[in-house]
């Protein structure tokens, strides 16, 4: 099967080589802003493949879509300075990617950590944001959900086969994602893991998760409402998984209250984060971006 994207490697100001996918739209006006997709903490550009294919090829007006691997994830180089695995450095890398591609402004989709990075971008270059889709993330996240992520990332064993990799994901997330098929769990496994020298392992530098290993039940998490306020004039959609423990319905309602141009969506029978390629979400995301 021919890939629907071009692969690019670009260099950051501190010399690291990072990776991105560029899905060229079937019908695209260069006057239309492209879509840039930012993944979660330990995830990568593959998470958005099906959504990117939809947005770039399946609608009347298609969009060029860019999906990124942060430093230490996917095909991007690992950083020797592990302190650089933080949302400020990663936000700077997003701006470098935009400069490399010659993109001054874009629509953004941010899943989990990707949404936190978008809050930081609001402080760095607000005029780069044409619109925002937050996927199960906002200015306030819940310690309970973060501790659950900490637990399964720090204790995960290596699967011996791709079937076992899929079964492991179902074992961890099945109570939140009630409607997924075996094929969906297989897809999730292929997004998370990579096979090298016959070994299937997570596709990220283990140091990426060091920042959450010190969390415990006494930790007080900061909020980002000040940064969220800077997005007042940016059209916004927020998607929440009904069963998410990281991002609550109360936070979603507060975002809806504080933002004048906000669309709130709750995805039934899914947790953190909802699968953006599922159900009617591609149509809803496309409609929002087009209207924005």
CATH of the domain at 130: 3.40.50.1820
159, part of any domain? no
190, part of any domain? no
The alpha-helical segments, DSSP class H, found in the chain are 49-57, 87-101, 113-124, 143-155, 162-173, 182-192, 210-213, 225-229, 249-258, 281-291
Is residue 108 helix, strand or coil?
strand
Distance CA 227, CA 129 (A): 13
Answer yes or no: pTM beyond 0.75: yes
- What pLDDT, in 10s, does the model give residues 162-177? 999 999 999 999 999 9
136, part of any domain? yes
164, part of any domain? no
Token pair recorded at residue 34: 């492209």
Give the domain extent around 54.
Answer: 6-141+224-291
State the chain's mean pLDDT as an integer.
95
202, part of any domain? no
Confidence of residue 44 (pLDDT cuts 50, 70, 90): very high
Distances 13 to 19, 69, 70 between C-alpha atoms, Å? 14, 16, 14
pLDDT at 3 over 90: no
- What pLDDT, in 10s, does the model give residues 127-160? 999 999 999 999 999 999 999 999 888 877 899 9
Distance CA 192, CA 203 (A): 6
16, part of any domain? yes
pLDDT score at 1: 47
180, part of any domain? no
Q: How many domains would you assign to the chain?
A: 1
Closest to 214 in 3D by CA, of 146, 281, 260, 138: 146
163, part of any domain? no
């Amino acid at each position: 099967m021919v890939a629907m994207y071009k692969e690019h490697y670009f260099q950051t100001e501190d010399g690291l080589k990072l990776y991105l996918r560029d899905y060229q739209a079937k019908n695209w006006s260069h006057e239309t802003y492209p879509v840039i997709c930012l993944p979660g903490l330990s995830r990568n550009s593959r998470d958005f493949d099906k959504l990117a294919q939809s947005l770039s090829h399946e609608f009347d007006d298609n969009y060029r879509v860019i999906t990124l691997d942060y430093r230490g994830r996917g095909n991007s180089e690992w950083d020797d300075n592990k302190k650089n695995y933080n949302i400020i450095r990663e936000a700077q890398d997003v701006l470098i990617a935009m400069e490399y591609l010659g993109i001054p402004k874009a629509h953004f989709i941010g899943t989990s950590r990707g949404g936190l990075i978008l809050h930081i971008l609001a402080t760095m270059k607000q005029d780069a944001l044409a619109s925002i889709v937050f996927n199960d993330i906002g200015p306030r996240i819940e310690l309970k959900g973060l501790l659950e992520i900490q637990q399964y990332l720090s204790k995960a064993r290596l699967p011996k086969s791709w079937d076992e990799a899929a079964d492991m994901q179902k074992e961890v997330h099945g109570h939140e994602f009630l409607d997924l098929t075996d094929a969906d769990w297989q897809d999730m496994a292929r997004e998370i893991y990579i096979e090298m020298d016959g070994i299937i392992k997570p596709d990220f530098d283990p140091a990426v998760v060091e920042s959450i290993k010190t969390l415990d039940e006494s930790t007080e998490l900061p909020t980002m409402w000040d940064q969220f306020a800077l997005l007042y004039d940016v059209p916004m959609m927020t998607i929440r998984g009904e069963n998410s423990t990281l991002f609550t319905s109360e936070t979603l309602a507060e975002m809806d209250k504080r933002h004048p141009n906000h669309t709130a969506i709750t995805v039934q029978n899914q947790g953190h984060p909802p699968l953006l390629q599922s159900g009617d979400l591609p149509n809803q995301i496309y409609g929002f971006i087009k209207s924005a």
